[in-house]
Chain A
Amino acid sequence: MSVVVADPGVRPGALQRIRDSGLVQLAQPIVRVFVRNRPAVFGAALLFGFGIVAAFAPLISPFDPLETHLSRETVFQAPSWDHVFGTDAQGRDVLSRTLYGARIAWQIVLAAIGVAIVLGVPLGLFSGYIGGKLDELVIMRIVDAVMALPGLILILAVTGAVGPSITNTMIVIGVVWSPGYARLTRGIVVSIKGDVYVEAARALGASPARIMWRHLLPNAIAPILVLASLSAAGIILVEAGLSFIGAGVQPPTPAWGGMVSDAYRTLIRRNGWPMIGPAGAIILMVIAFNFVGDGIRDALDPRLRNVR
Chain B
Amino acid sequence: MLSYIATRLLSSLFILWVISVLVFALMNALPGDPAAGIVGVEATPELIEATKRRLGLDKPLVERYGNWIWSALQGDLGTSLVNEVSINELFARRVPATMQLGILSLIVVITVAIPVGVMSALRPGSKTEVGASSLMIIGNSIPEFLTGIALIVVLGLEFGWFPIFGYVPFWEDPVDNMRHMALPVIAVSLTATTLLMRQTRSAMINVLNDDYIRTARAKGLREHVVIVRHGLRNAMIPIVTIFGFQAGLIFSGAVITETVFAVPGMGRLFVDAVVTQQDFLVVQSVTMFFAIAVVLVNLTVDLTYPLLDPRIRMAAEGGAE
Query: Residues of A with Cβ closer than 8 Å to B?
Result: 141-142, 144-146, 148-154, 156-164, 233, 237, 240-241, 244-247, 257, 260-261, 264, 267-268, 272, 275, 279, 282-283, 286-287, 290, 306, 308
Contact = CB atoms under 8 A, between A and B. Distances in A.
Given A149-B294, A245-B271, A275-B149, A163 B277 contact: yes
B90 interface: no
A141 B273 CA distance: 29
Given A149-B248, A161-B280, A247 B146 contact: no
Q: Which 10 A-B pairs rank lowest in CB-CB distance, beginning with the nearest?
A: A150-B248, A152-B252, A145-B18, A160-B283, A150-B252, A160-B274, A157-B287, A286-B141, A287-B141, A145-B15
Contacts of A153: 248, 251-252, 255, 270, 287, 290-291, 294
A282 B256 CA distance: 16
A241 B143 contact: yes
Contact of A157 (B14, B23, B141, B149): B23
Nearest to B18: A145
Nearest to B31: A162
B290 A247 contact: no
A275 B149 CA distance: 10
B142 interface: yes
Contact of A290 (B141, B260, B287): B141
Given A153-B251, A153-B252, A160-B280, A244 B145 contact: yes
Contacts of A156: 255, 270-271, 274, 283, 287
- Give the interface SS of chain B, mostly helix, strand, loop or mixed: helix
Nearest to A256: B143
Given A148-B15, A160-B273, A282 B260 contact: no
B144 interface: yes
Interface string B228-269: 000000000000000000001101100110011000000000
B142 A283 contact: yes
A298 B27 CA distance: 41
Nearest to A157: B287
A52 B206 CA distance: 42
Contact of A272 (B141, B142, B153): B153
B143 A141 contact: no
Interface residues of B, number: 47
A153 B295 CA distance: 13
Given A148-B295, A240-B143, A161 B32 contact: yes
Given A156-B287, A160-B273, A161-B280, 16 more contacts: A145-B22, A146-B19, A149-B291, A156-B270, A157-B283, A241-B144, A244-B256, A247-B274, A260-B146, A267-B149, A279-B149, A286-B140, A286-B143, A287-B141, A290-B140, A290-B141
A151 B249 CA distance: 9
B199 to A, nearest CB: 8
Interface in B155-171: 157
A212 B22 CA distance: 28
A144 B17 CA distance: 12
Contacts of B290: 149-150, 153
A147 to B, nearest CB: 9
Given A148-B298, A149-B291, A283-B142, A260 B149 contact: yes
B22 to A, nearest CB: 7
Contact of A264 (B195, B260, B298): B260
Contacts of A246: 271, 275
B27 A150 contact: no
B26 interface: yes
B137 interface: yes
Contact of A282 (B15, B22, B143, B271): B143
Contacts of B2: none
Contact of B26 (A148, A157, A233, A287): A157
Contacts of B153: 267, 272
B26 A247 contact: no
19 contacts: A142-B18, A148-B248, A149-B248, A149-B294, A153-B291, A153-B294, A154-B287, A156-B255, A156-B283, A156-B287, A157-B284, A160-B277, A160-B283, A164-B274, A233-B141, A244-B145, A264-B145, A272-B153, A279-B149
B32 A163 contact: yes
B202 interface: yes
Interface string B187-206: 00000000100000010000
A275 B260 CA distance: 14
Contacts of A154: 287
A246 B260 CA distance: 12
A36 to B, nearest CB: 19
B73 interface: no
A16 B23 CA distance: 51
A286 B18 CA distance: 32
Contact of B137 (A152, A240, A261, A287): A287
B320 interface: no
